[in-house]
Amino acid sequence: MSEIKKKEGFADNLPERHRSGQFWSNLFRISTGVGIVALIALLLNITNSAFGYVAIENRIDPESLAINGIPLEQLHPIDLTYILKQNVSAGYFRNLENEMPFEQRTREEIYDLVIERVVEPEAASTWSLFDSLFHKSEIQAEVAEKYPNADLHFTSWINGNFLVSPQSANAERAGVRTAVLGSLWVIFITLLFAFPLGVGAAIYLEEYAGDLWINRLIQTNINNLAGVPSIIYGILGLAIFVRALEPVTSGAFLGTMDPTTANGRTILSAGLTLGLLILPLIIINAQEAIRAVPSSLRQASFGLGATKWQTIWHHVLPNSIPGILTGTILAISRALGETAPLVVVGASTFITFDPESPFSKFTALPIQIYQWTSRPQAEFRNIAAAAIIVLLMILLSLNAVAVVLRNKYSNKL
Amino acid sequence: MTENNINSYAIEAKDLNLYYGETLAVRDVNIQIEKQKITAMIGPSGCGKSTVLRAFNRMNDLIPSAHANGSVLYHGKNIYEEDVDPVEVRRRIGMVFQKPNPFPKSIYDNVAWGAQINGYTGNMDDLVEESLRGAALWNEVKDNLDKSGLSLSGGQQQRLCIARTIAVKPDIILMDEPASALDPIATLKIEDLMQELAKDFTIIVVTHNMQQAARVSNFTAFFNLGEDYAGVLEEYGVTAEIFTNPKKKTTEDYITGRFG
């Protein structure tokens, strides 16, 4: 290229321009790399805690409970009931009997009770996935030395039982059922509240509101609200939904007040609070989606003598719905992971019963995770990791739904 | 709007001034459009011919800053009066746009939708067929009525838009450079179609294509930019007259390609 003469008045700086371009592109590559490394580290950290060896020690060796050489697992329900009666306090046994007579219980139920109350297996120690994979012999040696009676086996803390069991004080028996149900209830209320309101506001702002100073002010405020820290929404929710609207949020106005539900700290309050939190996000996303509908479509519709509402209903909404749904699901994902506002509006940290109505006390997955990580026992950190995996799975499936919806509707165009 | 038989024009602008905000876009337009004829509006870019066209069915209302004073008489009634519903105006004065803009719906629904929302009570299948035949599209699409309107070629899409427009049975069809996004063959089809349509409808067409105006129109309106950059109607008359014997120098300069 050197034979091409340099143009007068222009510096010969092409190599320099390429160099600076190369510099920036490398920088961007590095930042992407850092992001990926951080993500991998996060996932490794969680899996590391969610799987691994656990040494289980029983208070009573199940073999010592065998009767006439028949092992515990094969004993007749009557024998199992007898064992239970011998080993628990009389009061507790009567309680169980009152709940449901033993003759009516299945063999599995009684067996579970014997294991839970008599054998009482407890994790003496747990190991991370990394240690379990690479230091197996050392773990075995340690168990043999420190916990001679313990039974060492590899466990996945996230398993079927974990998903369907309610919260428990014992990490081996605790599960996320209560928290998952609580989260789903709260999200359902949130969606019911925020979706119609948000889409409605977006339609108004995009299609009806004129370019007045008041509308511009509202728009600016909505944009700012999207960035307000979530704890502030928690405080707002506490003031409005828990305190001021207590007769409504506690269900008292329907006469269906749950005696265990004190002062409006219910699913309804939490759902409405999270609804307020994601309302600006839904509005902004829906506005973007509505704005993206080509104006040629609106003109075509108006040109045929359609009214404004017919145009919105038949053209603007159907064509913006993929964007609106995607934005809504992303907002819902955010609400699902929120902890701070729920703490403020009074999510319970320890309940073992399923939420039954919007007026029930509740807990939610992030609250449960937070509560488990703050326990001193190591096993709770393992089940916290398992609960994080459950939360991530729910979030990923929500995102997958968003992608599917988007593709499904945009293919039609 | 009552039928006024005395009035022989399809639509008529009187002292029409059009504004975007404070800016005067078009000044003092006086024009009478003949019924069932094709009237072409030509002129350099930015001279306001599209603005005038869109003033005829109050399409400018969609632009918040746009407003009009003066009058546009349709059946003897000023469509800018308070008691006139722009929705009704647009139903009777349809519009075909520069870029083909079919709805993302099936071909059938594209044609049927306008009639549907306007409360058409007749047989929809017949109307769709009649409209597609009217737009010279029926033979090409009759076996694929449930295919998306967007799957058609550009020229077919534009004819679909015309079919959709005539399905609501307007009196007047406004066309804003309907062939400017099309290739010469598709353009020719649209021009043939316009002449066919002029048997039943009044057509007003904005075009940048001088030959097109000369080929298809009965009347031609030449718009130009005034000294204050507001558009003015420079000359209006029978097309043959305008093209062969223009009264004004600027008209002659424009159509012979000396400016614009």
Nearest CA-CA partner of B114 in B175, B198, B154, B170: B170
- Tell me the one-letter amino acid at B6: I
pLDDT band at A351 (very low <50, low <70, confident <90, very high): confident
- Helices A14-50 and A378-412, interaxial angle, to 10°? 130
Residue B1 pLDDT > 50: no
The string of pLDDT tens digits covering residues A39-76 is 999 999 999 988 888 888 887 777 777 777 777 777 78
* pLDDT score, position A293: 92
Percent residues over pLDDT 70 in chain B: 97
Higher pLDDT, A105 or B170: B170
Residue B102 pLDDT > 90: yes
Q: What residues contact A148, with CB distance under 8 A and at least 6 apart?
A: none
* pLDDT score, position B3: 47
User: For B17-38, what is the mean pLDDT?
Assistant: 92
**Least confident stretch, A41-45, A108-112, B171-175, B203-207:** A108-112
Chain B contacts to A (CB-CB under 8 A): 57, 59, 62, 64, 87-88, 90-92, 94-95, 97, 99, 101-104, 113-114, 117-118, 148, 150, 161, 164-165, 168
* pLDDT score, position A260: 57
* pLDDT score, position A111: 80
Higher pLDDT, A151 or B230: B230
pLDDT band at B38 (very low <50, low <70, confident <90, very high): very high
B64, B150, B168 member nearest A304 (Cβ): B168
Chain-wide mean pLDDT for chain A? 86
Q: Distance (Å) from the C-alpha of residue A323 to the closest C-alpha of chain B?
A: 16
* pLDDT score, position B59: 92
Chain-wide mean pLDDT for chain B? 90
Higher pLDDT, B16 or A101: B16
Chain B residue whose CA is closest to A308? B87
Domain locations in chain B? 9-101+172-255
pLDDT band at A257 (very low <50, low <70, confident <90, very high): low
Cβ contact A304–B161 (<8 Å): no
B104, B165, B168 member nearest A412 (Cβ): B104
Q: Distance (Å) from the C-alpha of residue B79 to the closest C-alpha of chain A?
A: 14
| B9-101+172-255: CATH architecture | 3-Layer(aba) Sandwich (3.40)
Chain B residue whose CA is closest to A296? B101
The string of pLDDT tens digits covering residues A362-379 is 888 999 899 888 888 888
Cα–chain center distance at A37 = 23
User: For B118-122, what is the mean pLDDT?
Assistant: 91
Task: Decide: B56 and B234 in contact? Cβ < 8 Å.
Answer: no
The string of pLDDT tens digits covering residues A101-135 is 877 788 877 887 777 777 777 777 888 888 888 88
Which of A304, A308, A314 is the best residue to mutate to test the B interface, defined by the most B CB atoms within 10 Å of its own CB? A304
Q: Distance (Å) from the C-alpha of residue B233 to the closest C-alpha of chain A?
A: 25
**Least confident stretch, A160-174, A198-212, B17-31, B220-234:** A160-174
Burial (Cβ within 10 Å: 0-12, 13-18, ≥19) of residue A175: buried
User: For B199-221, what is the mean pLDDT?
Assistant: 92
User: For A162-168, what is the mean pLDDT?
Assistant: 83
- Tell me the one-letter amino acid at A92: Y
A211, A305, A307 member nearest B114 (Cβ): A305
Q: What is the layout of strands, in order, in the sheet containing B231-238?
A: B77-78, B66-74, B9-20, B23-34, B231-238, B219-225, B38-42, B202-206, B172-176, B93-96
Burial (Cβ within 10 Å: 0-12, 13-18, ≥19) of residue A400: exposed
Q: What residues of chain A lie within 8 A of the CB of B114, using their CB?
A: 304-306
pLDDT band at B2 (very low <50, low <70, confident <90, very high): very low
Q: What residues of chain A lie within 8 A of the CB of B87, using their CB?
A: 305-307
User: For A277-281, what is the mean pLDDT?
Assistant: 95
Q: What residues of chain A lie within 8 A of the CB of B95, using their CB?
A: 299, 303
B169: left (phi over 0), alpha (psi -120 to 50) or beta: left
Cβ contact B117–A314 (<8 Å): yes
Domains of chain A: 49-156 (no CATH), 177-412 (1.10.3720.10)
Residue A254 pLDDT > 80: no
Higher pLDDT, A170 or A289: A289
* pLDDT score, position A159: 84
Residue A348 pLDDT > 90: no
Nearest CA-CA partner of B80 in B72, A303, A304: B72
Chain A contacts to B (CB-CB under 8 A): 210-211, 294, 296-307, 310, 314-315, 318-319, 412-413
The string of pLDDT tens digits covering residues B59-71 is 998 888 899 999 9
Q: Which two tokens stand for residue B75?
A: 């059946």
Task: Decide: B167 and B112 in contact? Cβ < 8 Å.
Answer: yes
Higher pLDDT, A238 or A124: A238
A298, A304, A315 member nearest B164 (Cβ): A304
Nearest CA-CA partner of A161 in A398, A366, A390: A390
Which of B90, B110, B111 is the best residue to mutate to test the A interface, defined by the most A CB atoms within 10 Å of its own CB? B90
DSSP state of A5: P
Q: Identify the bridge partners of residue B96 per DSSP, sorted by sequence position.
A: B175
